[in-house]
């Protein structure tokens, strides 16, 4: 049981690392989009009505995943 829990912990750590990398990528995309808006190369209306809502949805999804992982891990530690 302990070995299985350790294996799960390792996999969750790997998953969190990948999720964090995606968060960094998302931040870089947002930074570049803002640069393009200020340079006049990205339509502000498109950014506000299409791009930004999709980014917010992705951020919320990543946050929800991390929250669920924490709940799972806490429940496993109580066993």
Task: List pLDDT tens digits, range 1-49.
Answer: 788 878 888 888 888 899 999 999 999 999 999 999 999 999 989 999 9
Q: Which of 58, 64, 69 is nearest to 23 (CA)?
A: 58
- What is Dmax (Cα atoms) for the chain? 58
Over the range 54-69, which residues count as b (16 or more CB within 10 Å of their CB) and which as e? Answer: ebeeeeeeeeeeeeee
CB 29 within 8 A of CB 55: yes
Task: List pLDDT tens digits, range 38-63.
Answer: 999 999 899 999 999 999 999 999 99
pLDDT value for 72: 83
Mean pLDDT on 60-74: 88
pLDDT value for 79: 67
């Amino acid at each position: 049981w302990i070995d299985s829990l350790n294996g799960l912990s390792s996999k969750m750590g790997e998953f969190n690392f990948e999720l964090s990398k995606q968060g960094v990528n998302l931040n870089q995309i947002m930074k570049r989009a803002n640069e393009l808006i200020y340079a006049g190369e990205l339509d502000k209306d498109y950014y506000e009505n299409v791009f930004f809502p999709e980014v917010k949805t992705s951020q919320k999804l990543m946050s929800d995943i991390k929250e669920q992982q924490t709940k799972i891990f806490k429940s496993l530690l109580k066993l």
